[in-house]
Structure 1
């Protein structure tokens, strides 16, 4: 009886082990991922990278954890895609436009002077074919798995130590920027340079530049730019929208189950939409902040806004002649823009 009892106990234990191994949730090993970012802090870290890590943990009941690293911790803040490609990080959060030097097509996904607004961009991405182009492009040209992760509302055109209203005021202005605006602003007469976002405040404070563009109206409340620059120039005609990006190593992606891949994508989409709504609300709350802080808020002349858009569109047309991918994405965006032409007629009501 004793031997039979021991045998029964052993069989029961074996059955429990087999049941555990057959359960997909319990059998799934925990996955720990390292995320390089382009940010030292601020909204892009809070509302995008960190929010994504939290959402993934929630959707997977803590099975997948993501550790976010501030820009510069694992390598250059402007070269996050390279850090992921080289295996330094499993994934990264960045702005695709930082890779414009490698392929100009990146600025069409990251936003530039010729882009439509954030509402149209979200529609193009998620229901207008943009996401499919985005993922195919990054896989083809950069060997990365990629998807949108966060989106910014229009940026402040400038935090500046000099008033800028007209194109004449723009001539020779020492400006910190990034992406295609480096070239386009130079064509319009400015003297642009680039630098990671974490260095922008110091550049403005020390007079290395006359003005900076970096962030939206609400986002820049915490940047302190208003403390070291007298003028706030609106709106951000150079950057009417800025989708951000999650890049993942194909090696890491292939090692994750299809179910978890779906959860990672769902989390990215949820965070992107939440981020857009939060940015919009904080922009509205910040609209009088700068005047209360003693800044002079300047409205950029409408002819300057139009000139910036026209310069952006011309830039895109030139690049379309030289780059197949650029031409393909730009064509998709133009077709979408034409579809939405005059949408204000049925989307806005006079009040």
Structure 2
């Protein structure tokens, strides 16, 4: 109801944004994160670039902490103009982003944010399904991230067998693998995990080490296992196509030039936050453990098999997931580099 009222206000211009100065284009940017979060710091780097590059003809007005956009309907909200630009998480979308959600499990072997973004673009070149799911939106940044591990409250995970019986928050592409290993996985927005850990509703979470600092998991968890869990890239900062088309050509040019700037800032902030998170964890006496190589290899095989099964399952929605999956497997080279040739 709250967002419906906000949308009505924007459309009716009754409680609309302030009128910018003549010759200045104002863009409202919405994020569910606080201004101090690593994602938001990257967003601020992009804002500074856009405003400087445009010579002040573009101004970005940020609205933080989830005041405008939800985590599960943000793509639709942006299509309807609740904000001009926003942070979206297609992996939580309730519908209309089946491939983008499932393809986040196709990135085995892509271990850095940069390689994940490159592989995402390999797949979008190969598959027209991405464009269909992003209809009505212009992508301004694709986001990857550092590899997650296993964060647990009170039970250390030293082998895959230790996952049995643990209730873990996990991304959707990992749920069937964890079930096969005997865990009890659930999917929920990351913003809800701290309280669930604190209350004992969750035993743990599949999450990167930055969360010990950025989401304060060091306060409610005592163990981190560095199992290398593949993670995918996804279109994370978008603008409505309607708003995009309303912009003058010079403003569009600046926003296009801002894409690599935003993606580089996101990668840098992710990597720095990961290092700081591990430091925070160790200072809080969180036990940090490695996963034995044989266990890692077993997990990798299960993950890749499940990814292919999920790709095939998209046919139930009339979606060709195998084209994207095959492009991903061709794109990742043995040394971890990404090449899109042979599409």
Specify the TM-score bucket, using the shorter chain as the normaliser. 0.7 to 0.9
Which of residues 318, 327, 331 is equivalent to 2:322?
Answer: 327
Shift of 1:325: 4.0
Residue 149 of structure 2 aligns to a residue whose secondary structure is coil
Q: Which residue is equivalent to 2:212?
A: 220
- Whether the aligned pair in 1 keeps the contact of 2:129 and 2:320 (CA below 8 Å) is yes
Name the residue aligned to 1:306: 297
Name 1:180's counterpart in structure 2. 173
Check conservation: 1:108, 1:330, Cα contact below 8 A. no
The alignment's TM-score, normalised by the length of structure 1, stands at 0.76
**1:37 matched to 2:37:** no
Q: Could you tell me how far apart the structure 2 residues matched to 1:35 and 1:171 are?
A: 42
- Summarize the Cα distance change of 1:282–1:86 in structure 2 as closer, same or farther, 3 Å threshold: closer
TM-aligned CA distance change 1:194 to 1:125, over 3 Å: closer
**Residues 1:318 and 2:309 are matched in the alignment:** yes
Give yes or no for contact 1:87–1:249 (8 Å, CA) kept in 2. yes
1:140 and 2:135 are equivalent in the alignment: no
2:183 maps to what in 1?
Answer: 190
- Provide the C-alpha distance between the structure 2 equivalents of 1:178 and 1:42, rounded to a whole number of angstroms: 24
CA distance in 2, matches of 1:178, 1:240: 9
Q: CA deviation at 1:194?
A: 2.6
Aligned to 2:17: none
- Change in 2 beyond 3 A, CA 1:28/1:133: farther
Match in the other structure for 1:257: 248
Q: Which residue of 63, 67, 92 maps to 1:69?
A: 63
Tell whether the 8 Å contact from 1:79 to 1:99 is kept in structure 2 after alignment: yes
Counterpart contact for 1:159–1:225, Cα < 8 Å: no
Residue 97 (structure 1) aligns with: 91
What is the distance in 2 between the residues matched to 1:302 and 1:116? 18
**Aligned pairs, how many?**
311
Question: RMSD in angstroms over aligned alpha carbons?
Answer: 3.0
Give 1 or 2 for the bigger CA radius of gyration: 1
Supply the distance in 2 between the matched residues of 1:223 and 1:77 (Cα, whole angstroms).
16
1:80: how far off?
1.2
The equivalences for 1:9-20 within 5 A come to: none
Aligned-pair distance for 1:249? Answer: 0.8
Residue of structure 2 equivalent to 1:208:
201
1: CA distance, partners of 2:215 / 2:336: 35
Which residue is equivalent to 2:13? Answer: none
1:18 alignment partner in structure 2: none
Distance 1:94 1:111 in 2: 18
Separation (CA, whole Å) in 2 of partners of 1:159 and 1:305: 18
> Relative to structure 1, is the Cα distance of residues 125 and 311 closer, same or farther in structure 2, using a 3 angstrom cutoff?
same
